[in-house]
Structure 1
Amino acid sequence: MKLPNAENAVIDIEKLRGYCLSSTHPKGKHKARLFVEKLGMEQDDAEILRQAIQKAILIAEATERKPIADGRIFRV
């Protein structure tokens, strides 16, 4: 299945910059190291990563995870 309402998905640029691409975040630094090694992406590339994710979620397959009180969660 495709991600419902994928065109309306919100991808938090600060979460990408401050967590996924941060070499100093206690939990995110391991992800950041992989982004640099595999894609050459650093904190300054957060907007490029956000745009790539936005494009990918429009075409990628999604699976619904266990519903929560706030709504539905999908893994893409």
Structure 2
Amino acid sequence: MTALFNFQSLLLVIILLVCTSTYIHQMFPAILDRNKDGLMGIFWKCARIGERLSPYVSICCIFMAFSMLVGN
């Protein structure tokens, strides 16, 4: 089953995208800052979400980790 049809997997992919984009922006800010438009702009926006909502994103990561443990 793909992540598009499973809601929990879709949320996991989105959270991982936000966390990865934020990490890349912290390590190499020039890569995402020069690509604010187009397809690469999605990663810049995800990095902004991760930077500004980091407590909520970390709570979501913890919640998803526990839900994966309980679900299996």
Tell me if both proteins adopt one fold, taking TM over 0.5 as the criterion: no
Higher relative contact order (CA 8 A, sep 6+): 1
Identify, as 1 or 2, the structure richer in strand.
Answer: 1
Identify, as 1 or 2, the structure richer in helix.
Answer: 2
| TM-score bracket for the superposition, by shorter chain length | 0.3 to 0.5
